Amino acid sequence: MKLEEIKNNKEIMAQLRWDLNPQSAVLPVEKNEESSQAELDHLNESMVDNAGAYFYVDVWNRSVRLALMIQDVWGYGRSVFIEKFDSPLLEESIYECGGAVNISGGYPINGDLEVELKKKLGLNN
């Protein structure tokens, strides 16, 4: 998916969240037969709180790319990779949070990358 496609997709644009990242959106507990009602209530609240779409930096096999996670209120998510987006801010985001391009995973975007993305998406706030 290209940034221009996201920009033109009202549903995704309405779901964009800048306060979420791969670490903050992790659900706190798993539901199982021994879960207490309080744990289940907390899990349900967390799923609703973490619903939305957020950008993150994906690293796999030393390949760095921008990705968008779209997560629903049921806790299900899907990642889409952003095509033709190249910026030194991707690697800066990785290093800023203590990661490295040789450590696979999902990393939060930094403030400068957020500003760049908002500009490209026409969100000047």
8 burial level (CB within 10 Å; 0-12, 13-18, 19+): exposed
Over the stretch 61-105, which tens digit does the pLDDT of each residue have? 999 999 999 988 676 789 999 999 999 999 999 999 999 999 999
From CA 46, how far away is CA 72, in angstroms rounded? Answer: 11
Residues 6+ apart with CB under 8 A from 117: 3, 55, 109
The separation between CA 26 and the C-alpha centre of its own chain, rounded to angstroms, equals 11
DSSP class of residue 16 equals B
What's the pTM value of the predicted model, to 2 decimals?
Answer: 0.82
